A and B are shown apart, each in its own frame.
Chain A
Amino acid sequence: MFRDNEKISATQIALILTLTMIGTGILTLPQSLAKEAGADGWIIIVVGGVLGIALANIYGYIVKSHPHTKYMDILSMHLSKYVAYVIVVMTIIYLLILNGFIIRIFGEAIKMFLLFKTPIELIIFSMLLVSVFLVRKGIETLGRFAEIMIPIIFIPSLLLFMLALQNAEMKNLLPVFQVSIKEIVKAIPIVLFSFLGFELLFIFGFFVNKPKEISEPINYAMIFVILAYIFLNSMTLLNFGVKQTQHLIWPTLSLFKTIEIPGLFIENVEALVMSIWVLIAFTTIAPLHLATSYLMADIVGMKDNKLLALPILPIIYLIAMFSENIAETYAHLDKITNFLAPTIVMIIPCILALVIYARRRSGREGNKI
């Protein structure tokens, strides 16, 4: 099936983006927030989220003003062809690196909680193979997959969080409003990382059947993710308190480790949580992989992105295995979130939106384009 025949609905793209975002932030957000802002992490999430919503609407504006146009074509239309090439290559590199690190973190977590003796290479490689399988099926499949994943992921997660409440201490959420504005600004990159995945809207926007209706679902998706993160953050703090959260690598997973359901068939829900975690990670890794393949196909001038699914695998794999250990992975990831991500996620889209806006205005005043 060629790309031009593939269509997803505005809701489906919002769901894809929701799942992609959740996957990047869910593991580490509470820990980084606890480090930066103590019990006031939710304020940073809200501030970051508002920024995210603003960005999302800028993206939405770009996609809406050029319906059914590829990202690269939009770029070359407004910023000349060479600039477009540079930006797309940068975006590809960024997506590959991001994906590589995410899958590394995923693999480490699986190894730590589920498969203690299995080599991490095998864990990462097998996951990527399944991702290739999805990429070869295309965006339509991903859209449907996202729809079916929402209940499968969120209903059990919610139940598990409810179970985690048994150890909750309300006073862990206090004191509030201790964080200063300076600290908020400093912490924004961390929150921004948790919202990464949203930039895929550019690449997937091409496939939306009714681009005009895209704003509403996207805003809902953002609000949903903000609420989910606030919920996650509060749950972690309720259980562990600020001090302990700061010292956990993956507070979210540790949170579930504390759950005990005596008398039930499954005594230890950790393995169950890890199973859901596989799905959450997959819904982040596969969209990134798919987006990379689409952009690569554009650069090379291929009509069909299917063939690129497999060649991308070794690249992501090598990036994933690049770091020696998990601490190094996080160090590398910080560099991305501090430099490459803001450029691609914030600066370029804003410039692009400004150019489009300016051209439209001048066009409206003169002849209509």
Chain B
Amino acid sequence: MAQNSNDKTNNNRMNKNLETNIETFKEILKDCKDIVYRKIEIGKDIKLNAAIIYLDGMIDRNLVNEYVLTHLMLTCRMTEPNPKNRKGQFVEQIKKNVLAVSDMKEVETIDDGILNILSGETVLLLDDYEKIIIIGSRGWPMRSVSEPITESVIRGPRDGFTETLRVNTALIRRRIRDSQLKVHAMQVGRRSRTDVAILYIEDIADSGLVEEVKKRLEEIDVEAVIDSGFLEQLIEDNWISIFPQIQNTERADVASAALYEGKTVIVVDNSPFVLIAPSTFNAMMQSAEDYHERWMIATVVRILRYFAAFLSLLFPALYVAITSFHPQMLPTSLVITLSANRSGVPFPAIIEALLMEVTIELLREAGVRLPGPIGATIGIVGGLVIGQAAVEAGLVAPLMVIVVAVTAIASFSIPSYNIAIAFRMLRFIFIVSAGFLGLYGIMLILTAVLVHLCSLKSFNTPFLSPFVTVAENTSALKDTIVRAPTKFMKR
């Protein structure tokens, strides 16, 4: 493949001679043992030499055998090609009458031919013919459409994206039967040539936004794109930020809803996660289910979720601040219990909190890496045993264990893993600041975080909109912390 670019000028064009062409292919695809070359003869009286080339394992063998080879080698004999006009008509006949495949096209350069082979198409070369016939035969073992693991819902569709781009775009198409839904295809990665599709609904999405997305994708210059997460980091606005500025989803209904909102969806081949740009903090705090449930339930759940975000960010820090700086905030009886609890603990609250938080982060990370049942066991062992033991050993106060546990649960209630992990990291900064400056420290860091969030933009949309664009677009508030009744939400 490397030679491909070096020899571009020489090998670009097809030769008239079949053997030379095959040699060129073999030269470029040297040491690629998974490429299959199959030479055949077409026709009864006059024999036209031909060859098919494909990548083993990437094609639908049934299709090639039954509808390409059988027809070329056997059925073809039934027709009577005219020997005099062999060059023009015979090829035309093969294309029009013989190849019984739905997806067929022609390319002129060997580079294009090779790219198609590597994408899983079958290439048909004919003697004395300077074009390459590409037979659409992509077919490889793929995971079937299954329920998304990361974003499960109680009520709602259960089909999630897979690793195959076409399946993913089809899943979205099924929900949007509109000719305005455009699928712009491109390839990213010098070597990987990963297929990327940008989806948008033309008359809803802002044309400037679509152009911006295309521009950023085109400007990418990397060797390979393995997953959409990789692509996300290359096109996001602020790579220094702790917060994700592009949403990812495994759910087709979420992606479709985003399209209806005028956003663009970027589907990357080989990744079950599609990207939604632009995205906002608000969007990441929502779950697909919010729209399927009745509005009151959805609103209450959302308030709960924002509360969870608050806890996940600040609860341990508040514990540290209150116990070490402001015990007068609490009811007297609680203060007495608290100080009795903490009387045996040798560390200041900040050390206590950091110790427990690091432990729980370790547990969580261990749980993710271990296979299912063992992961759950780790959770129980860690949560119960270590917590209990730490209290009995006098390392931490019992209240601290409660705080840490509630925080962990709260951080699991945030729908977007990206945001949750940002909160997890910030939590440590908050604990440290609370240890030094108490509530004041917490407020300072909170202000800084808010300032940072306000400065963030995702593809020219303020990350905190609609909270920060209230004056221009008040009605957008209907779908934030409150989910207005479906009747009042204009779609």
Using CB atoms and an 8 Å cutoff, list the residues of chain A in contact with chain B.
Answer: 9, 11-12, 110, 114-115, 118, 122-123, 126-127, 130, 133-134, 137-138, 140-145, 147-149, 263-268, 270-272, 274-275, 278-279, 282
Contact = CB atoms under 8 A, between A and B. Distances in A.
17 contacts: A114-B439, A115-B440, A126-B437, A126-B444, A140-B455, A141-B454, A144-B454, A144-B455, A144-B462, A144-B464, A144-B468, A147-B467, A148-B450, A148-B467, A268-B328, A274-B440, A275-B443
Question: Which of A11, A144, A264, A278 is packed against the most chain B CB atoms within 10 Å?
Answer: A144
- Which 5 A-B pairs give the minimum distances between C-beta atoms? A11-B471, A144-B468, A141-B455, A278-B443, A144-B454
Contacts of B442: 275
Interface in B459-485: 462, 464, 467-472
A278 B447 contact: yes
B313 to A, nearest CB: 14
B454 A127 contact: no
A134 B448 CA distance: 8
B326 A114 contact: yes
B440 A137 contact: no
Given A133-B448, A267-B331, A267-B332, A110 B440 contact: yes
Contacts of A271: 326, 328-329, 439
A11 B444 CA distance: 26
Contacts of B452: 133, 137
B338 to A, nearest CB: 13
A9 B472 contact: yes
B297 interface: no
Nearest to B462: A144
Given A265-B331, A267-B331, A282 B454 contact: no
A282 B447 CA distance: 8
Interface in B315-366: 325-326, 328-332
A130 B454 contact: no
A11 B474 CA distance: 12
A316 to B, nearest CB: 16
Contacts of A137: 451-452, 454-455
B438 interface: yes
Contacts of B441: 126
A268 B439 CA distance: 14
Nearest to A152: B450
A130 B444 contact: yes
A253 to B, nearest CB: 14
A126 B433 CA distance: 11
B331 A114 contact: no
A268 B437 CA distance: 19
A133 B331 CA distance: 36
A145 B449 CA distance: 11
Contacts of A143: 468
A127 B451 CA distance: 13
B95 to A, nearest CB: 55
A148 B464 contact: yes
B457 to A, nearest CB: 9
B325 A115 contact: yes
A141 B469 CA distance: 12
Question: Which of B331, B462, B469 is packed against the most chain A CB atoms within 10 Å?
Answer: B331
Nearest to A138: B455
A141 B464 CA distance: 11
A17 B383 CA distance: 50
Contacts of B332: 267
Contacts of A278: 440, 443-444, 447
A130 B437 contact: no
Contacts of B469: 144, 147
A275 B329 CA distance: 12
A130 B468 contact: no
A59 to B, nearest CB: 20
Contact of A145 (B330, B331, B450, B471): B450
Nearest to A137: B455
B122 to A, nearest CB: 51
Contacts of A110: 440
B439 A130 contact: no
Nearest to B471: A11
Nearest to A275: B443
A118 B448 contact: no
Contacts of B326: 114, 271
A266 B450 contact: no
Given A130-B444, A145-B450, A148-B454, A122 B437 contact: yes
A282 to B, nearest CB: 5
B317 to A, nearest CB: 12
Given A140-B455, A144-B455, A267-B330, 14 more contacts: A12-B471, A114-B440, A115-B440, A118-B438, A126-B444, A130-B444, A133-B451, A143-B468, A144-B462, A144-B464, A147-B469, A266-B330, A271-B439, A274-B440
A310 to B, nearest CB: 15
Given A148-B454, A268-B329, A123 B440 contact: yes
Interface in B370-386: none
Given A278-B443, A278-B444, A147 B470 contact: yes
Contact of B468 (A133, A147, A265, A282): A147
Contacts of A266: 329-330
Nearest to A9: B471
Given A266-B330, A267-B330, A134 B451 contact: yes
A72 to B, nearest CB: 26
A130 B441 CA distance: 11
A274 B439 contact: yes
A282 B444 CA distance: 9
A282 B445 CA distance: 12
A145 B451 contact: yes
Contacts of A11: 471-472
A224 B293 CA distance: 39
Given A130-B451, A148-B454, A114 B438 contact: yes
A145 B450 CA distance: 7
A83 B467 CA distance: 42
A126 B450 CA distance: 16
Contacts of B448: 130, 133
A133 B443 CA distance: 14
A117 to B, nearest CB: 9
A264 B334 CA distance: 11
Contacts of A147: 467-471
A266 B448 CA distance: 25
A138 to B, nearest CB: 8
Contacts of B329: 266-268, 270-272
A319 to B, nearest CB: 20
Nearest to B330: A267
Contacts of B471: 9, 11-12, 147
